[in-house]
């Protein structure tokens, strides 16, 4: 793909003041046709410029519409590494070889998109032993937890452990990965108090709203979340009543769950949607209940529509949101950002949005539109994402084949890394772009975790001797090569090589493991 010289010149004079976040001011340093300064840029200046440009890219209308796919096609092995890292939480020891041998990446992806066909007995067994509440109905949860501070405390620490344990152990890796995505999209938090019922209804939310809908339609997940006590409480919709409506949920459902911030709705639409959704709540047994007495009577004029009063009006409104083209665009963009690139190619986003629209938000079809795209497998997007703390911790446990007797300390480490599960301070959910995570000091905590894991000082986690002996060899180069191949997908830079050299000659596999898990390469997916 080439584009005109004018575009190139204009692109080159862009410089961005702040990388990410605050004041993304784009300053042009010269008129369009002014020649570039002659001075040779240093590597670092160039790098800085590139990253600033690319991060600013989306906001600039002059951005080329097609990602320039460069470099050779990924090898079959690289494709396997890519899908295991991108569509899951990374390979277990030897898993890349297994997948290469058994049908390659296509066979793996095909199976992952049909999770019911994947045997997950081990994970299910462990989970049902450790987390008996996971099978409880909301009524049973209520009986066991409502108002019981101590019990709620336990549940509150166990829900994150449940999420993490599943992500590590499950063979349904893509399912678990997409749970991470949707859990953040339809974010609720889990407060540490018995006064808020979502301190225990969240357990039901995870198992009834998120997990069953990841391979369903977007509309069904949206409506399930809107009706669930956890969401009704979290965004205050259960407080919303006639002539005293609460705008919190109405605003967030458009801004965060469907249309995207400021995309095609105004403040009066927020007010009207609040009215449309008055009376949505739950009864004493935490079953959804529409309270007609609390419902704002009369038609509402919302997004150019005339919406009738009653529960049906609310369902109509949410369905309208689910089918709205801006929702298709917003969800497509978020999914492409999660699965392809922090700054996804707009052309891909458009294609995926159109699949979303045409399929009525049929999520497996949307996933497949992304996975089967040439952009997904493009060299440019290979290992281009920075792991979130959750992805890092899960991938490290998988890469070392660690035995996970308790996820408690790992979850505690995630808090230190700034990503406690089910405790995002904002209804936005945790962000998945590199720029949001790199500043939190996560690297140094990751170094510590890598070292603790390899020497066996993460409580409840054991990296077995058989993992270390897998790499033992008389020839240090062989040990080194195999570890690089399996732990960081063969992508060692001279940093990794230099750091490994000394340790490799002593045959110290645990130290080599911690170096690799703490290396820049392992932070990428």
Instruction: State yes or no: residue 245 binds other proteins (CB under 8 A).
Output: no
Instruction: State yes or no: residue 30 binds other proteins (CB under 8 A).
Output: no
Instruction: State yes or no: residue 291 binds other proteins (CB under 8 A).
Output: no
Instruction: State yes or no: residue 451 binds other proteins (CB under 8 A).
Output: yes
Which parts of 362-381 interact with other proteins (CB under 8 A)?
Answer: 379-381
The residue among 61, 171, 184, 80 whose CA lies nearest residue 121 is 171
Residue 136 exposure: Cα atoms within 13 Å on the Cβ side: 18
Beta carbon of residue 223, minimum distance to other proteins (angstroms, whole number): 25
3-state SS, residue 195? coil
How far from chain centre, in Å, is Cα 223?
Answer: 21
Instruction: State yes or no: residue 456 binds other proteins (CB under 8 A).
Output: no
Instruction: State yes or no: residue 496 binds other proteins (CB under 8 A).
Output: yes
According to CB under 8 A, which one of 33, 35, 425, 466 is a site residue for other proteins? 425
Stretch that binds other proteins, among 37-45, 115-123, 153-161, 295-303 (CB under 8 A): 37-45
According to CB under 8 A, which one of 218, 330, 390, 437 is a site residue for other proteins? 437
Residue 202 near residue 230 (C-beta atoms within 8 A):
yes
According to CB under 8 A, which one of 338, 356, 386, 422 is a site residue for other proteins? 386
Which parts of 322-361 interact with other proteins (CB under 8 A)?
Answer: 341-345
Beta carbon of residue 282, minimum distance to other proteins (angstroms, whole number): 22
Residue 163 near residue 183 (C-beta atoms within 8 A):
yes
Residue 133 near residue 168 (C-beta atoms within 8 A):
no
78-81 own/partner pairs: CB under 8 Å, 24+ apart: 78/382, 78/489, 79/104, 79/105, 79/377, 80/104, 80/105, 80/108, 81/489, 81/490
Which parts of 76-115 interact with other proteins (CB under 8 A)?
Answer: none
Instruction: State yes or no: residue 298 binds other proteins (CB under 8 A).
Output: no
According to CB under 8 A, which one of 93, 216, 264, 418 is a site residue for other proteins? 418
Q: Distance between CA 295 and CA 201 in Å, rounded? A: 24
Beta carbon of residue 316, minimum distance to other proteins (angstroms, whole number): 28
Instruction: State yes or no: residue 409 binds other proteins (CB under 8 A).
Output: no
- Kindly give, in sequence order, each residue whose CB lies less than 8 Å from that of residue 444, ignoring residues fewer than 6 positions away: none
3-state SS, residue 189? coil
According to CB under 8 A, which one of 6, 32, 34, 36 is a site residue for other proteins? 36
Instruction: State yes or no: residue 132 binds other proteins (CB under 8 A).
Output: no
**Complete DSSP assignment for 46-82:** HHHHHHHHHHHGGG-TTS-SS----SPPPPHHHHHHH
Stretch that binds other proteins, among 350-358, 383-391, 458-466, 474-482 (CB under 8 A): 383-391
**CB nearer other proteins, residue 8 or residue 107:** 8
According to CB under 8 A, which one of 444, 464, 505, 506 is a site residue for other proteins? 444
**CB nearer other proteins, residue 311 or residue 447:** 447
Instruction: State yes or no: residue 67 binds other proteins (CB under 8 A).
Output: yes
Stretch that binds other proteins, among 128-136, 150-158, 200-208, 382-390 (CB under 8 A): 382-390
Instruction: State yes or no: residue 28 binds other proteins (CB under 8 A).
Output: no
**CB nearer other proteins, residue 222 or residue 499:** 499
**Site map 166..205 versus other proteins, x via CB under 8 A:** ----------------------------------------
**CB nearer other proteins, residue 55 or residue 397:** 55
Residue 404, phi then psi, degrees to nearest 5? -110, 95
Instruction: State yes or no: residue 482 binds other proteins (CB under 8 A).
Output: no
User: Is the torsion defined by CA of 235, 240, 244, 247 positive or negative?
Assistant: positive
**CB nearer other proteins, residue 445 or residue 479:** 445
- Kindly give, in sequence order, each residue whose CB lies less than 8 Å from that of residue 472, ignoring residues fewer than 6 positions away: 479, 507, 509
How far from chain centre, in Å, is Cα 113?
Answer: 17
The residue among 47, 52, 48, 59 whose CA lies nearest residue 16 is 52
State both tokens at 34.
Answer: 């002014």
According to CB under 8 A, which one of 435, 462, 468, 482 is a site residue for other proteins? 435
Beta carbon of residue 498, minimum distance to other proteins (angstroms, whole number): 6
Which parts of 257-286 interact with other proteins (CB under 8 A)?
Answer: 261
How far from chain centre, in Å, is Cα 127?
Answer: 22
Residue 173 near residue 123 (C-beta atoms within 8 A):
no
């Amino acid at each position: 793909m080439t584009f005109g010289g004018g575009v190139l010149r204009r692109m080159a004079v862009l410089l961005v003041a702040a990388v990410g976040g605050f004041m993304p001011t784009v300053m042009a340093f010269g008129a369009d046709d002014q020649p570039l300064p002659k001075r040779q840029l240093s590597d670092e200046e160039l790098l800085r410029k590139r990253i600033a440009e690319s991060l600013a890219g989306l906001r600039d209308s002059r951005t080329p519409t097609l990602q320039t796919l460069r470099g050779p096609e990924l090898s079959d092995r690289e494709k396997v590494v890519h899908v295991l890292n991108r569509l899951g939480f990374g390979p277990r020891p030897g898993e890349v070889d297994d997948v290469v041998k058994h049908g390659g990446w296509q066979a793996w992806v095909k199976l992952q998109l049909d999770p019911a066909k994947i045997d997950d007995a081990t994970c299910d067994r462990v989970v049902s032993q450790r987390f008996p509440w996971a099978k409880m109905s909301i009524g049973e949860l209520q009986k066991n937890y409502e108002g019981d501070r101590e019990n709620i405390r336990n549940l509150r620490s166990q829900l994150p452990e449940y999420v993490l344990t599943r992500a590590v152990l499950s063979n349904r890796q893509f399912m678990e990965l997409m749970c991470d995505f949707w859990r953040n999209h339809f974010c609720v938090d889990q407060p540490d108090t018995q006064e808020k019922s979502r301190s225990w209804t969240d357990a039901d939310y995870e198992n009834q709203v998120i997990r069953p809908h990841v391979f369903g339609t977007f509309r069904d997940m949206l409506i399930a979340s809107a009706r669930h006590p956890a969401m009704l409480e979290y965004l205050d919709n259960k407080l919303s009543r006639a002539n005293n409506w609460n705008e919190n949920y109405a605003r967030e459902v458009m801004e965060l769950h469907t249309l995207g911030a400021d995309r095609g709705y105004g403040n009066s639409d927020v007010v009207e949607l609040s009215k449309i959704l008055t009376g949505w709540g739950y009864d004493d047994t935490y079953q959804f209940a529409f309270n007609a007495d609390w419902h704002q009577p009369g038609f509402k004029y919302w997004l150019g529509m005339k919406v009738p009063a009653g529960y049906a009006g609310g369902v109509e409104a949410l369905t309208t949101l689910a089918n709205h083209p801006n929702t298709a665009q917003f969800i497509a963009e978020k999914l492409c950002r999660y699965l392809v690139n922090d700054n996804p190619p707009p052309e891909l986003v458009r294609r995926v949005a159109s699949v979303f629209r045409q399929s009525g938000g049929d999520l497996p079809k949307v996933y497949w539109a992304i996975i089967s795209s040439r952009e997904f497998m493009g060299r440019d997007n290979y290992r281009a994402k920075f792991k979130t703390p959750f992805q890092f911790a899960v991938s490290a446990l998988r890469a070392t084949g660690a035995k996970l007797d308790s996820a408690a300390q790992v979850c505690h480490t995630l808090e230190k890394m700034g990503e406690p599960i089910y405790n995002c301070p904002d209804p936005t959910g945790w962000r998945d772009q590199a720029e949001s995570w790199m500043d939190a000091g996560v690297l140094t905590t990751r170094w510590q975790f890598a070292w603790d894991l390899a020497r066996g000082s993460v409580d409840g986690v054991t990296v077995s001797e058989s993992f270390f002996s897998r790499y033992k060899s008389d020839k240090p180069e062989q040990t080194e090569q195999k570890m690089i191949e399996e732990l960081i997908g063969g992508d060692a830079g001279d940093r990794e090589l230099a750091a490994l050299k000394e340790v490799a000659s002593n045959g110290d596999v645990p130290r080599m493991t911690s170096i690799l898990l703490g290396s820049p390469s392992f932070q990428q997916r």
